[in-house]
Amino acid sequence: MLTFFNKIFTWWNRDTLGTRLKTIFFGKFVGKDDFGNKYYESKKGKRWVIYADEVDASKIPVEWFSWIHFTTNKIEKNHKLEKYKWQKPHKPNLTGTESAYYPNRNKNVNEKKYKTWKS
């Protein structure tokens, strides 16, 4: 019962009831990325994504980002996007999480950057 109310009243819990109904009646499934996000398109040309986990726009890989913003209209079906060995895998924005970058995480914070010349 609680899940039902979460679907109706919260937009941060994946998709709402309105989005679910729009997807069922007007959405045409286009594809799915490696993170499990599903992409849809309407007959009028509107495009949207249903996130697999937490709603975060930085979790869209670059090939789907360009599709959803109409940079390219073609998504290669049954074809894995070939990446070079020097390319890193896509990561979402980690700001505010435990994995975020902190410059002084492993150093003594009280340590001064510069030492005075008088000792």
| pTM flag (> 0.75) | no
Query: DSSP labels for 96-118?
Result: TSTTS--TTSSS-TTS-SS--S-
Q: What is the pLDDT of residue 79?
A: 47
Measure CA of the first residue to CA of the last residue in the chain; give whole Å: 69
Confidence class for position 10, pLDDT limits 50, 70, 90? low
Q: What is the pLDDT of residue 58?
A: 83
| H or E element that contains 38 | strand 38-41
Q: What is the pLDDT of residue 49?
A: 92
Nearest to 32 by CA among 70, 67, 73: 67
60-105 pLDDT tens trace: 888 888 888 888 767 655 445 677 888 887 777 888 888 888 776 6
More confident residue, 3 or 58: 58
At 72, list the tokens.
């390219």
